[in-house]
Amino acid sequence: MGFRLPGIVHAKKNKVPSKSLDVPKGYFAVYVGEGEKKRFVIPVSYLNQPSFQDLLTRAEDEFGYDHPMGAITIPCSENTFLDLTSSFDKFWVEIRCQRMLQETLKLVEFKEGLGLRIK
């Protein structure tokens, strides 16, 4: 059984920022940086994270709803953004591992209940 981890999709370099760049379904583009802005394409699931919502509030306070880059501009350093979003990915990995462990334990209990040996 496999699972796909949500993560950041880096925009291709040497392309002019534009609203017409492809963004996969379930993702959206943001620009991050204090000086030169770098484009990231991130999963919409990040919108559920309170710390990401705080970033959006800061973006609203600083830029309002006018984002001339064509996507939301996040007012923080690239390193801060990457540290924050990598913690989201770790969180989801931990949740999925916990669920897989719970399912495995249920399977072991079921097999033991049938008198089957577990190798």
Model pLDDT for residues 11-26, shown as the tens digit of each residue: 544 444 545 467 889 8
What pTM, to 2 d.p., does this model score?
0.57
Distance CA 109, CA 102 (A): 11
At a CB cut-off of 8 Å and minimum separation 6, what does 10 contact?
A: 40, 41
Q: Tell me which of 42 and 88 has the higher pLDDT.
A: 42
Location of structure tokens 């309002």: 64
**H or E element at residue 100:** helix 78-113
Give per-residue pLDDT as tens, 98-114.
777 888 888 887 777 77
User: What's the mean pLDDT in 27-39?
Assistant: 88
Location of structure tokens 């089957």: 116
Q: Where are the domains of the chain?
A: 9-14+21-93
Judged against a pLDDT cut of 80, whether residue 61 lies above it is answered with: yes
pLDDT in the model for residue 64: 80
